[in-house]
Amino acid sequence: MACDIMVTGCRGQLGRDLVASFSADHSVRGVDLDELDIRDRERTLEAIRKADPGTVLHAAAYTDVDGCEGNRELAMAVNADGAENIALACRKVGARIVYYSTDYVFDGNADRPYTEDDQTNPQTVYGQSKLAGEQAVQNALDDYVILRIAWLYGRHGRNFVKTMIKLGFQQRRDRHGGREIAPLKVVDDQLGAPCWTMDIARQTRAVLSGRHTGLFHATSGGETSWYGLAQAIFAAMDIDVVVEACTSDEFPRPAPRPKRSTLSNQRLNEAGLNVMPDWKTPLETFLHEHSKEILCEL
């Protein structure tokens, strides 16, 4: 039976909130790796033919940035070839696609937020594979939406905000237990804009509400560092945590992180479509709504 919306990666961090948001007023079909491996072109074509969606929200990806660095073949197979398979299937059934891309398509060396017109220059395998996915979508379809998003957090899956909540409470427990506490060290030399997955769902709706097509940056307003984000989390939750700023050199990773990958939502603004708020307000709302549940998982 035909559905309005198909969500790939429906058990992922973003996918789960896309399903929750769109299910309120659309028929939604979610698929994930256990049911459909998007590397398999024939099965992907068949799954989309059967579901016959009006729009595919393509949120499935190999998102382990450090893992991608050591496994280029898998990264390209999922993030580039997989995106191409989804796009070709959309073309066959006449469905629209929303492809979620990333700030990692840029090198992170700019001294201002990147616009959609800026030159891409990915420095990681993950970034290269996601950019190849963008190009595959653009080659396969005229009617596409690409949303470049960044620094995601949400209720589901693993993310920085949930990790900080857990580490902050661990430190508090240690202090109350009379144990010696080590300051929480957080990187202060990488800048970006934290985005709540529910805001990305709202932004997706806004773009789909008209026949808007093309590549858009879709991140929260403002910018901060991971250290700034950690401080904002603890301030909003009113917990006293000893946090110390450090540099990326103190946390060497297989994949280099962009120094400043803040994006400007220039095209959404020009089209009157930008519904992304500044990063602090949604963070406070998210913590108000979800921090208790997250702590229950400790």
Ligand X SMILES: NC(=O)c1ccc[n+]([C@@H]2O[C@H](COP(=O)([O-])OP(=O)(O)OC[C@H]3O[C@@H](n4cnc5c(N)ncnc54)[C@H](OP(=O)(O)O)[C@@H]3O)[C@@H](O)[C@H]2O)c1
Write out the catalytic residue numbers: 126
33 near ligand X, rule: CB under 6 A: yes
Size of the site for ligand X (CB under 6 A): 27
Taking CB under 6 A as the criterion, the residue among 6, 7, 9, 122 binding ligand X is 9
Residue with tokens 């891309």: 101
Instruction: Report which residue's Cβ sits closest to ligand X.
Output: 12
The HSE-up count of residue 64 (CA atoms within 13 Å, CB side) is: 9
- Minimum CB distance to ligand X smaller for 58 or for 280: 58
Do 111 and 165 meet the contact criterion of CB atoms below 8 Å apart? no
Strand partners, 225: 191
Nearer CB in complex with ligand X: 126/227: 126
Cβ nearer to ligand X, comparing 8 with 274: 8
Judged by beta carbon, residue 19 or residue 59, the one nearer ligand X is 59
Copy the structure tokens of residue 297: 């998982």
| Site map (CB under 6 A) of ligand X, residues 165-204, x = contact | ----------------------------------------
Segment 138 to 167, residues that bind ligand X, using CB under 6 A: 149-152, 157
Place of tokens 């990681």: 124
In the range 61-90, which residues lie near ligand X by CB under 6 A? 61-63, 78, 82
* Interaction of residue 130 with ligand X, rule CB under 6 A: yes
Is there binding between residue 60 and ligand X (CB under 6 A)?
Answer: yes
What does the binding site for ligand X look like in residue numbers (CB under 6 A)? Answer: 9, 11-15, 32-33, 36-39, 59-63, 78, 82, 100, 102, 130, 149-152, 157
